A and B are shown apart, each in its own frame.
Chain A
Amino acid sequence: MSAKLIDLQHITKIYDGNTVLDDMNLYIRENEFLTLLGPSGCGKTTTLRIIGGFEKPDKGAVLFNGQDITHLPPNKRQLNTVFQKYALFPHMTIAENIAFGLKIKGKTRSYIQDKIKYALKLVNLDGFESRMPDSLSGGQQQRIAIARAIVNEPKLLLLDEPLGALDLKLRQDMQYELIRLKNELGITFIYVTHDQEEALTMSDTIVVMNQGYIQQIGTPEKIYNEPENAFVADFIGDSNILPSLMIRDELVEILGARFACVDKGFGENRPVDVVIRPEDVDLVSPEEGTLQGVVTHLIFKGVHYEMEVTANGFEWLVHSTDMFPVGTKVGIRVDPFDIQIMNKPESEDEEAVAIDA
């Protein structure tokens, strides 16, 4: 494993009496593509601004390669930011925009010229040198913003919802573009978004945040398949979240029916939350099912059908390629490894879950 590039230690940030970040600890390794994911107001952008130097934490320290940079102004930090709305200098040409950081550093003319050419090639916008920013489309402006940041060869690139203003198709193209750039340049990316799909597509590591707390850190697969609490499960993808009772290891009671599962160590007869992804709910004939229910809604979604099945007073969300008409009596079965047991949220997070549930 490579070294810690950024190390956030006990970061607390308070705005007008509101705690935006509370004793946050997080490190980012070199060459990682790390995404801070969460709803608006969760503290993800504040975290990024603290790393970028635009905010000072009220408590705690920011280490960069082991050195304390908490009080270093942004212009002295070896990192660059791609801003939410591009923030290109409107009075400068594209070339002047890209050259800005290099001119400040006093690089030679020929070096700057080479860098501009190289950067424009990298973002597929050769020949745009003398255009003005406002003559470019949103997607093009975003690429220039990235080019302007990377010519400075930062160790770390911070991206603040850079694709937020683009339409869906362009977003998807830019996602692949960003992954390609990251691999070609070999620099560390910290990416902020509220879009879970974007996070799942691009990241090596996802940090799910809510109300100033880190909810879970993990790979996209781990976050999706093994959410640690109801907030993460609900925020990432569709899910059925059911208050349940852990009878003993590998056995859980959901809505009065007992399901085999694979989790251990939650104790006996303990209340837990269970998450089951809609695609993991198998619909079978009533007698084969662990639970029996009736299909109440049916929508065709293209790749699959989305159904709602009412069973034991709970509306199950089910994704299936098989179609069951409304009114059909069905049985519900779930494979043991598709049942994810989660601890009930800590008191402070309870509120957070309640708002988003």
Chain B
Amino acid sequence: MRKTTGKKPESPRIIYFNQAAMTAPYLFWALAFIIIPLLMIFYYGLTDKTGAFTLANVAAIATAEHSKALWLALALSLVSTAICLLLAYPLAMILANRRVSQQSFLVLIFILPMWMNFLLRTLAWQTLLEKTGVINAILTFFHLPPLNIINTPGAIVLGMVYNFLPFMILPLYNSLTKIDPSVVNAAYDLGANGVQTFCRVIFPLSIPGVISGITMVFVPALTTFVISNLLGGSKILLIGNVIEQEFTQASNWHLGSGLSIVLMAFIIVNMVLTGIFDKNGEGTAL
């Protein structure tokens, strides 16, 4: 991947106080609460109840019940990610063109809704989607066929799109506003029409945002157990539900950890992808 940003001199380094003393607290915290816990998952996932090494917990993903949950989760999260991308790209472009202040739209789309609990917001979709719910009342009013998606995979996809759409909009918006408007003007100036300018200049330059948006939506969608629980009824199990049950109901931490390792493999692929496209380490969400 080529570098997409302008030439950047190494940012100035200033050491204000004792560097070691300043690094120590976070180093300790990161080791104790990020690195070691992750290692614990590997420890539990690769051992059995007696503490002996085994691959059985990881291999358990191949059983019919588990693989079905994984494939369903993959399918639903991919569909949700695609829908998020399709919904978010036009919005991000409109907002970026209007130079809507980042602060105000961040608050409107991202922060403010979070002050209403996310479980309640997701549950509210039940009310909206029910057979006699608000949406069907509106549809019937316009003589349209009613929507019966509650407790189906469709409702789960809707819940995923609803919950994770802001995570797609934000990186897209950020990468689109970074495009120098005169570069876009240059494309028009050199004879490109709107479609050509989009395909050859705007979209290629927004790819870092597209990639981090995809990661930001795909990972939580793939691993959710809450949305499927709330909107899918109790019959639809995603891989997240399986893992959650192993920990909270079956108390089989070894199996749960083994399945989590499988899940992490997908996440790591994602992280590597973002790492490649986000070389400057500027973060993805903010």
Q: Do chains A and B touch in the complex (CB under 8 A)?
A: yes
Residues of A within 8 A of B (CB): 52-54, 73-75, 80-81, 83-85, 87-91, 100-101, 104-105, 132, 134-135, 148-149, 152
Binding site for A on B (CB under 8 A): 2-7, 180, 182-183, 185-193, 196, 200-201, 204-205
Nearest residue (CB) in B for A83 is B182
* Most-contacted residue by chain B among A73, A75, A101 (CB, 10 A): A75
- B210 to chain A minimum Cβ distance, whole angstroms, is 13
* Contact in complex: A74, B189 (CB < 8 Å): yes
A155 to chain B, nearest CB (A): 14
Determine the chain A residues whose CB is within 8 A of the CB of B196 once the complex forms: 104
Question: How far is it, in angstroms, between the C-alpha of A132 and the C-alpha of B191 when the chains are bound?
Answer: 22
The reply to whether A85 and B191 contact each other, CB–CB distance below 8 Å, is no
Complex: how many Å from CA A90 to CA B2? 9
A184 CA / B279 CA spacing, docked (Å): 43
Asked if A100 contacts B200 (CB within 8 A), the reply is yes
User: Sorted from nearest, which 8 A-B pairs have the closest CB atoms?
Assistant: A101-B190, A87-B182, A74-B188, A87-B186, A83-B182, A134-B7, A104-B191, A81-B189
Contact A87 B3, CB 8 Å, known A100-B190, A105-B191? no
- Is there an interface contact between A90 and B188, defined as CB atoms closer than 8 Å? no
- Decide if B204 touches A85 in the complex (CB within 8 Å): no
Chain B residues whose CB sits within 8 angstroms of the CB of A134 once the complex forms? 3, 5-7
B6 touches A80 (CB 8 A): no
Please measure, in the bound complex, the distance between the C-alpha atom of A149 and the C-alpha atom of B189, giving whole angstroms: 9
Known: A83-B182, A91-B205. A100 touches B188 (CB 8 A): no
- Give bound CA distance, A112 to B196, whole Å: 18
**Cα(A163)–Cα(B190), bound, Å:** 21
Tell me if B185 and A54 are in contact (CB < 8 A).
Answer: yes
The distance from the CB of A226 to the nearest CB of chain B, in whole angstroms, is 36
Most buried by A among B188, B189, B191: B189
Specify the chain B residue showing the minimal Cβ separation from A73. B188
The answer to whether A81 touches B185 (Cβ under 8 A) is: yes
Q: Contact check: which of A80, A85, A91, A152 meets B182 at CB < 8 Å?
A: A85
Chain B residues in 8 Å Cβ range of A135: 7
Q: A73 to B190, alpha carbons, bound, how many Å?
A: 11
CB-defined contacts of B188 to chain A, threshold 8 Å: 53-54, 73-75
Q: How far is the CB of A167 from chain B (nearest CB, A)?
A: 16
Find chain B residues with CB under 8 A from A149 CB. Answer: 189-190
A80 touches B190 (CB 8 A): yes
Nearest chain B residue, comparing its CB with the CB of A145: B186
Min CB–CB distance A78 → chain B (angstroms): 10
For the complex, give the distance between the alpha carbons of A80 and B187 in Å. Answer: 10
A74 to B191: give the CA distance in the assembly, Å: 7
Distance in angstroms from A108 CB to nearest chain B CB is 16
6 additional contacts, CB 8 Å, given A101-B191, A134-B3? A75-B189, A75-B193, A80-B190, A87-B182, A104-B190, A148-B186
The smallest beta-carbon distance between A278 and chain B, in angstroms, is 39
| Residues of the B chain whose Cβ atoms lie less than 8 Å from the Cβ of A83 | 182, 185-186
14 A-B pairs whose Cβ atoms sit less than 8 Å apart in the complex = A53-B189, A73-B188, A75-B190, A75-B193, A85-B180, A89-B183, A90-B5, A91-B4, A101-B191, A104-B191, A132-B3, A134-B3, A149-B189, A152-B190
